[in-house]
Amino acid sequence: MIRYLATAALVLLTACDKLHMERVAEVKTTQITWIKETPQSCGNVPGHINACATSASDYSWCVIRMPENTPDSMIAEEFRHCFGEVHPK
């Protein structure tokens, strides 16, 4: 169990090294819904074929769309979006 938690923490901290993200909100709690499907689009952001996170403007809720077999690094990135991080434009 401890090994799993350590691995999960490591994935959450390092998964987006290749994609710069910046925090735009300090989110302490949010309600996340994971819909296990491949999204057809992700708002007006091109290139999001495999996963998409959409949040309320106050981050009180977040919906993630991605297949069940999504790689851990991509799951971590979508969760980071739910907690106030975005890719700079």
Span 48-80, pLDDT tens digits = 578 999 999 999 999 999 999 999 999 999 999
Position 2 pLDDT exceeds 70: no
Position 42 pLDDT exceeds 90: no
Q: Residues with Cβ < 8 Å from 88, sequence gap 6 or more?
A: 20, 21, 22
Residue among 32, 79, 24, 22 at smallest CA distance from 57? 24
- Structural domain harbouring 43: 2-86
The span from the CA of 65 to the CA of 51, in Å, is 6
- Domain count across the chain: 1
DSSP-assigned beta bridge partners for residue 54: 63
pLDDT in tens, 15-30: 344 578 999 999 999 9
Residue among 17, 9, 6, 19 at smallest CA distance from 53? 19
Q: Dihedral through CA 50, CA 79, CA 67, CA 2, nearest 10?
A: 130
pTM of the model: 0.71
